[in-house]
Amino acid sequence: MEINAIYEGDNLEVMSKFDSKSIDLIYADPPFYTNKQFEIIWHDGAEKRAFEDRWKGGIEHYISWMEPRLEACHRLLKDTGSLFIHCDYHASAHLRVLLDRIFGEDNFRNEIIWKRKTGRGETQHKSNQFGVCTDFILFYAKTKNSKFNTQFIPISESDPIYADYVQSNFKFVDEKGRKYRSADLSSPSPRPNLMYEYKRYKSPEKGWAVSKEKMGQWDKEGRLLFPQTKDGRIRRKLFLDELKGKPVQNLWDDIQMISSQSGERLGYPTQKPVALLERIIKTASDEGDIILDPFCGCGTTLVAAQRLGRKWIGIDISPTACNLMKKRLQKELKVSVQLIRGEVDLDYIKKLVPFEFQNWVVVSKFLGKASMRKSGDMGIDGFSPEVLGGFPIQVKQSENVGRNVVDNFETAMRRINKKKGYIVAYSFVKNAYEEAARAKNQDGIEIVLRTVEELISGKIEKQDGQV
């Protein structure tokens, strides 16, 4: 397991190679079960990638796909670790049931509601439901000893709500002139080590909220309020000048989604703001801890972890996304990034979604430029570099490609006045090779047929017996 590295590949396969109990915090933002298709124009405008968030087998297919990945996350987490999984209303209830089984119901901590955008009213069409402006983040701990650092939202003294809160709660002043309020010191749940007497004051029914050592420390610091009789309860002083702000609750409405004008925006439709990941990382990890994002997309988790002094690991099956993340980290944070690719074999290529397959062929193997159009492209998916002729390339993610594909590609080449082009597929039938030979011999149009296996082995061009 390499640290501060991006792994390109199927996250289930990559995670299977990591040691158990090696990760401190996992944030997972998997494809949502939305039946929507997203198109992405990358920041440099040179490539276009599309991914389908579609699960034709229904919610059962989606959950069966997620189950082994969440089980892998559970195995990797240390006993002090936690998982935050981002989802929306389409699958949140199903994921809760699955996670309760994997992590245990007692280790469910929160359903965090993130208000990612403001609501909007009806347009020209009358709606039959309320607008959706929230996502869900399910928070599970590995054990009861998982890390948790309370986060606070700063409060302005000019805020009238803050002024009322201070006036209503901080009514007392100590001998040093410090305002404070009185707070309960009893434990919400019984624990044997918290059942003790302190200065002959008996413990509450479920024990004290702190250990005897901590109680002694607060006593020395003047943070305890002692009742006049031994039958009373010791209480704690909370000083106004130590007020960190308003503790963060499970409704997160103070972090805005990335706007179209934001400097963070990379053109990735599901991109999350860095502030959101910073809050999660601060809450459930400490400096030097290892953060894993198994669906790391454009690398926001990695950026937030690096800024906060954590170690990180990102995994994504998309070659395009992995290259983008590497460039982003190098540009924004000036850090050196290790990009680890698994063995690129036929099984790996067959796992790529259609436009990732297209980018692997056009960008990775031909060093060319993918088509900026998803459909209506006349069968042309990209072009080789201009210095190498700017030849059109068609990509077919299928076996036994026949004569009709070659014939249609020849027509497309004539329209753009090109005399040479490439078709890439898993395999071709005999009449495809015959049609390519006819086009070259009779019309002077060279259509080169290349299989995926030939590209994996490095064969793109072959002339006079030389590869």
Helices (H), 111-238: 160-169, 212-220
The pairing of strands 108-115 and 134-141 is antiparallel
Whether the CB-CB separation of 75 and 64 falls below 8 Å is answered with no
Q: Identify which of 365, 401, 370 has the alpha carbon closest to the alpha carbon of residue 383.
A: 370
DSSP class of 166:
H
Written as six digits, the tokens of 38 are 């997203």
Q: What is the dihedral of CA 190, 191, 192, 193, to 10 degrees?
A: -130
Which whole number is the average pLDDT over 435-441? 95
* Block residue for tokens 């297209």: 358
Q: Identify which of 280, 272, 331 has the alpha carbon closest to the alpha carbon of residue 297.
A: 272
Amino acid occupying residue 96: R
Range of lowest pLDDT (37-51, 185-199, 384-398): 37-51
DSSP class of 386:
G
Distance CA 40, CA 212 (A): 57
pLDDT at 131: 84
- Residue with the bigger pLDDT between 435 and 373: it is 435
- Average model confidence (pLDDT) across the chain: 86
Structure confidence by residue, pLDDT tens digits, 272-317:
899 999 999 999 999 999 999 999 988 999 999 999 999 999 998 8
Instruction: Walk me through the domains of the chain, giving residue ranges and CATH numbers.
Output: 5-150+248-342 (3.40.50.150), 153-242 (no CATH), 349-456 (3.40.1340)
Q: Say yes or no to pLDDT of 41 above 60.
A: no
User: Element (H or E) spanning 338, and its range?
Assistant: strand 338-341
CA 252, 24, 70 angle in degrees (round to 5)? 75
CA 448, 449, 452 angle in degrees (round to 5)? 130
Which whole number is the average pLDDT over 115-141? 79
Q: Say yes or no to pLDDT of 57 above 50.
A: yes
Q: Say yes or no to pLDDT of 429 above 60.
A: yes
pLDDT at 85: 98
Structure confidence by residue, pLDDT tens digits, 228-267:
898 899 999 999 988 888 889 999 998 988 766 666 766 5
> 236: which strand partners?
183, 224
- Residue with the bigger pLDDT between 434 and 317: it is 434
Calculate helix-pair angle for 59-76, 92-103, nearest 10 degrees: 40
- Residue with the bigger pLDDT between 60 and 40: it is 60
Q: Say yes or no to pLDDT of 466 above 50.
A: no
